[in-house]
């Protein structure tokens, strides 16, 4: 019955109907048989009574020598009427006909040899010998006999009762009364009709009863179904009414308990998911999850920004389509194949075409989607770290290199002196002068490095002490320092500045910055070309510009110009005694003033270095950044 989808009523109705009808059938069968038995008995008694009523008259009318001797013939001609103690055959026959009509009963008189002597409905000549009929045999034996059988003459079930006709204690014939059972059967048919009608009524009643029972059973079931559907849809607000039969109420209770637990668990899961989602979204690192087929399942905000994709758009896409980065694709495949966590690096190009270094750590996820596994990758942008590492490495290499040159030369000349050059005063003087020069250079480098590191330290602290002072004095002092070399190279230095410009400055540092800029102009611009130092102001800042007509700086070199030890033309700068620290110092001094330095330059057209000094400086640079970025 597991696949029987009929409504409940159709399960109940046939069974109920069958039981009711079987009961009805049993009752009808019992009723019909007993009623028929009763009727038949009644009819039999009735027939016997009539026979006994007629008995005396018939015996009187029965001719004495009534029995025929001829037992062989079927239709025996009755013997001629005998006259004697009895009556005549004709009188007997007439009486039988009359009495039969009057009583509505067939009356037959049979001789002891079975020959029919008289019959109320048929002529005895046409009737066969009745000696073999069971009721006749019984009556001839002196008893009352009866039988019920189909009568060929009336074409109906007929009841026969026969009694012996006795004269002087001897059986001289048999009187038989008979009546067709039509009346009985009619009465029975009536009973059956009524039973059929009540059967129909019962079937109807059973429908109603089955409907009520089915409804009583199915209503709680229906409510439970609706409740279960609500639960399945995640609506745990309502509960199922615990009603109906004990089993149904228990089922409803169990379902309510289940719903309660489901509700609690789902809420817990929800909370956990929200927490995870919050962590996932707020992570600074990118988090990428993929399924077994390398399709994107989830990518957080940081990841989307890093990989420059729209997380919503690429969800469900294969990473080979969604993230066009072979390094990352290989990593994902590797994670999916490997059982244990995998680490690797790859590079990306950001929107501006700069190379980004990424490090990713990946692990397999056993149950990512329904039944499917996948992988999760945490991607960090290590570009800055990389750059800082490179800077440090370069810095150390550069410092060593810069120190090595003067040290080697000092070492070399000192050895030469010791090897005998001391004896030749001219040589000795020349070599000692070189040693002194190289020592000064070493000194200068160390001084510069110290100045830088001082600036870095101060940059992060409560700022370098600044005073509101006129700029022109400081600019003039700086130019004064460079004047000698400029004169040597025949380069006029002009100052174009309003007299009364003031700004919060540290005069010693600012002087150093301007000296470095002017020194560069003197060094790198051709002999005789003019140098201008301008100053101007607006509402927010004061600007000092150092302009030359030198070779300019190629665009490719501009981004790195202010890095420590960076030189555009290494050989040339070195020849001029440059270490590449000058502009780095200028940059730090500008920052110590809360400002900045920039340069506009085109090769062959000279350069303009501008110091921007804010009137209300807010120094907010962290020492870490200054330490490493030149």
Ligand X SMILES: Nc1ncnc2c1ncn2[C@@H]1O[C@H](COP(=O)(O)OP(=O)(O)OP(=O)(O)O)[C@@H](O)[C@H]1O
Q: Rounded to whole angstroms, how far apart are CA atoms 174 and 145?
A: 10
Looking at 6-14, 304-312, 534-542, 578-586, which segment touches Mg ion (CB under 5 A)?
578-586
Question: C-beta of 569: minimal distance to ligand X in Å?
Answer: 5
* Edge-to-edge strands, sheet with 106-110: 116-119, 106-110, 170-180, 156-167, 145-151
Q: Residue 551, interface with ligand X (CB under 6 A)?
A: yes
Residue number with CB closer to ligand X (309 or 574): 574
Cβ–Cβ under 8 Å, residues 318 and 295: yes
100 binds ligand X (CB under 6 A): no
Q: Nearest distance from residue 365's CB to ligand X, in Å?
A: 52
- 579 makes contact, choosing from ligand X, Mg ion, none, with CB < 5 to 8 Å by partner type, with ligand X
Q: Which does residue 551 touch among ligand X, Mg ion, none (CB within 5 to 8 A, set by kind)?
A: ligand X
* 582 is a site residue for Mg ion (CB under 5 A): yes
Window of 19-27, 306-314, 529-537, 575-583 that interacts with ligand X by CB under 6 A: 575-583
578 binds ligand X (CB under 6 A): yes
Query: Which region among 72-80, 88-96, 333-341, 517-525 touches ligand X (by CB under 6 A)?
Result: 517-525
- Per CB under 6 A, 553 contacts ligand X: yes
Q: Under the criterion CB under 6 A, does residue 550 sit at the interface with ligand X?
A: yes
Q: Applying CB under 6 A, does 580 fall inside the site for ligand X?
A: yes
Q: Considering only 376-384, 397-405, 451-459, 548-556, which stretch makes contact with ligand X by CB under 6 A?
A: 548-556
Do 204 and 190 meet the contact criterion of CB atoms below 8 Å apart? Answer: no
Strands 596-601 and 531-537: what pairing? Answer: unpaired
Residues with Cβ within 8 Å of residue 333, at least 6 apart in sequence = 294
The residue (of 519 and 541) whose beta carbon lies closer to ligand X is: 519
For ligand X, the closer CB: 286 or 550: 550
Q: Considering CB under 6 A, how many residues would be counted as binding ligand X?
A: 22
Q: Is 535 in the site for ligand X (CB under 6 A)?
A: no
Q: What is the 3-state secondary structure (H, E, C) of 504-571?
A: EECHHHHHHHHHHHHHHHHHHCCCCCCEEEEEEECCCEEEEEEECCCCCCCHHHHHHCCCCCCCCCHH
Other C-beta atoms lying within 10 Å of the C-beta of residue 342:
20
Question: Considering only 288-296, 343-351, 432-440, 576-584, which stretch makes contact with ligand X by CB under 6 A?
Answer: 576-584
What's the CA gap between 224 and 214, in Å, rounded?
15
CA distance 46 to 49: 5
* Alpha-carbon dihedral sign for residues 328, 329, 332, 333: negative
Q: Which stretch binds Mg ion (CB under 5 A): 139-147, 526-534, 576-584, 614-622?
A: 576-584
Query: What does the DSSP assignment read for 47-78?
Result: HHHHHHHHHHHHHHHS-TT---S--S-SSPPP
Binding mask 354-393 for Mg ion (x = CB under 5 A): ----------------------------------------
Closest approach of Cβ 522 to ligand X, in Å?
9
Helix segments in 308-347, DSSP class H: 311-314, 319-322, 326-337
Q: Is 177 in the site for Mg ion (CB under 5 A)?
A: no
> In angstroms, what is the minimal distance from the CB of 559 to Mg ion?
18
Q: Which is nearer to ligand X, 209 or 557 (CB)?
A: 557
Q: Which one, 115 or 583, has the nearer CB to Mg ion?
A: 583
Counting contacts by CB under 6 A, is residue 520 touching ligand X?
A: yes
- Give the contact letters, 507-536, x = binds to Mg ion (CB under 5 A), - = no: -------------x----------------
Q: Can you read off the two tokens belonging to residue 148?
A: 């019920």
Q: Judged by CB under 6 A, does residue 630 bind ligand X?
A: no
User: Helices 8-61 and 182-232 meet at what angle, rounded to 10?
Assistant: 170
Contact between 587 and ligand X per CB under 6 A: no
Number of shown-chain residues binding Mg ion (CB under 5 A) = 2
For 5, the token pair is 């989808």
- Piece of the chain touching ligand X by CB under 6 A; list 12-20, 130-138, 463-471, 514-522: 514-522
CB of 551 to Mg ion, least distance (A): 14
Closest CB to ligand X among 66 and 584?
584
Cβ count near 569 (within 10 Å):
14
* Residue 608 within binding range of ligand X, rule CB under 6 A: no
Q: Which of 474, 607, 610, 626 binds ligand X (CB under 6 A)?
A: 607
Dist. CA 421–CA 132, nearest whole Å = 181
- Which alpha helices (DSSP H) does 62-175 contain, by range? 89-103, 134-140
Q: How far apart are CA 126 and CA 130, in angstroms?
A: 12
- Nearest CB to ligand X, comparing residues 78 and 550: 550
Report in angstroms how near the CB of residue 565 gets to Mg ion at its nearest: 11
Whether 406 contacts 399, CB under 8 Å: no
> What does the alpha-carbon distance between residue 85 and residue 63 come to, in Å, rounded to a whole number?
7
CA 354 to chain centre: 41
DSSP 107: E
Q: Which of 72, 65, 158 minimizes the C-alpha distance to 108?
A: 158
Q: Give me the torsion for CA of 100, 106, 107, 112, rounded to 10°.
A: 170
CB atoms within 10 A of CB 567: 21
DSSP 501: -
Region near ligand X per CB under 6 A, out of 311-319, 460-468, 489-497, 577-585: 577-585
Closest CA to 474 of 508, 504, 501, 499: 508
- H/E stretch holding 30: helix 8-61
CA dist., res. 512 & res. 454, Å (int): 14
Q: Does 524 sit near ligand X (CB under 6 A)? A: yes
Residue among 14 and 603 whose Cβ is closer to ligand X: 603
Tell me the window of 94-102, 326-334, 452-460, 515-523 that interacts with ligand X (CB under 6 A).
515-523
Select from Mg ion, ligand X, none the partner in contact with residue 524, using the beta carbon and a kind-dependent cut-off of 5 to 8 Å: ligand X
Which residues contribute to the site for ligand X (CB under 6 A)?
A: 516, 520-521, 524, 548, 550-551, 553, 561, 566-569, 573, 578-584, 607
Which residues contribute to the site for Mg ion (CB under 5 A)?
A: 520, 582
């Amino acid at each position: 019955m597991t696949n029987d989808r009929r409504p409940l009523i159709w399960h109940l109705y046939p069974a109920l109907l069958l039981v009711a009808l079987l009961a009805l059938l049993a009752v009808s069968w019992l009723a019909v048989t007993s009623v028929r038995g009763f009727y038949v008995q009644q009819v039999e008694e009735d027939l016997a009574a009539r026979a006994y009523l007629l008995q005396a008259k018939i015996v009187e009318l029965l001719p004495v020598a009534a029995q025929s001797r001829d037992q062989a013939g079927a239709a025996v001609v009755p013997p001629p009427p005998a006259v004697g103690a009895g009556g005549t055959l004709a009188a007997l026959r007439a009486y039988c006909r009359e009495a039969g009509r009057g009583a509505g009963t067939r009356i037959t008189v049979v001789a002891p040899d079975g020959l029919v002597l008289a019959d109320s409905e048929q002529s005895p000549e046409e009737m066969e010998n009745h000696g073999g009929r069971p009721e006749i045999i019984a009556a001839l034996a002196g008893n009352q006999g009866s039988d019920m059988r189909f009568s060929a003459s009336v074409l109906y079930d007929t009841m026969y009762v026969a009694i012996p006709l006795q004269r002087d204690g001897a059986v001289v014939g048999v009187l038989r009364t008979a009546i067709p059972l039509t009346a009985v059967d009619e009465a029975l048919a009536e009973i059956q009709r009524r039973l059929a009608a009540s059967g129909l009524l019962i079937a109807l009643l059973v429908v109603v009863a089955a409907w009520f029972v089915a409804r009583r059973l199915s209503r709680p079931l229906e409510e439970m179904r609706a409740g279960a559907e609500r639960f399945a849809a995640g609506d745990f607000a309502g509960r199922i009414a615990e009603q109906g039969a004990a089993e149904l109420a228990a089922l409803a209770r169990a379902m309510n308990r289940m719903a309660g637990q489901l509700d609690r668990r789902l809420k817990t899961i929800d909370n956990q998911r929200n927490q995870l989602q919050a962590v996932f979204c707020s992570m600074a690192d990118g988090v990428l999850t993929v399924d077994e087929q390398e399709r994107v399942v989830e990518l957080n905000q940081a990841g989307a920004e890093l990989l420059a994709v729209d997380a919503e758009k690429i969800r469900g896409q294969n990473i080979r389509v969604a993230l066009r980065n072979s390094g990352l694709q290989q990593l994902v495949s590797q994670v999916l194949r490997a059982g244990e966590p995998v680490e690797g690096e790859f590079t990306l190009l950001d929107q501006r075409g700069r190379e980004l270094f990424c490090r990713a750590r990946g692990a397999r996820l056993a149950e990512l989607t329904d039944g499917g596994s996948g992988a999760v990758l945490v991607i960090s942008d290590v570009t800055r770290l990389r750059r800082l590492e490179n800077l440090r490495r370069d810095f150390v290499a550069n410092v060593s290199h810069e120190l090595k040159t003067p040290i080697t030369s000092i070492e070399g000349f000192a050895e030469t002196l010791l090897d005998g050059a001391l004896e030749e005063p001219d040589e000795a003087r020349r070599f000692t002068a070189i040693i002194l020069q190289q020592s000064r250079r070493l000194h200068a480098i160390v001084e510069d490095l110290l100045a830088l590191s001082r600036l870095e330290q101060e940059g992060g602290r409560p700022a370098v002490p600044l005073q509101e002072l006129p700029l022109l004095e400081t600019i003039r002092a700086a130019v004064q320092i460079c004047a000698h070399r400029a004169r040597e190279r025949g380069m006029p230095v002009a100052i174009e500045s309003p007299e009364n410009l003031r700004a919060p400055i540290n005069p010693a540092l600012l002087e150093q910055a301007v000296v470095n800029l002017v020194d560069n102009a003197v060094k790198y611009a051709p002999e005789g070309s003019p140098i201008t130092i301008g100053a101007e102001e607006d509402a927010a800042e004061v600007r000092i510009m150092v302009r030359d007509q030198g070779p300019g700086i190629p665009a490719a070199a501009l981004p790195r110009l202010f890095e420590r030890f960076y030189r555009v033309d290494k050989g040339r700068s070195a020849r001029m005694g440059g270490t590449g620290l000058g502009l780095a110092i200028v940059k730090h001094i500008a920052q110590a003033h809360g400002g900045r330095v920039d340069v506009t330059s085109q090769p062959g057209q000279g350069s303009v270095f501008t110091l921007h000094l804010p009137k209300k400086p807010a120094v907010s640079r962290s020492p870490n950044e200054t330490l490493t970025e030149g």
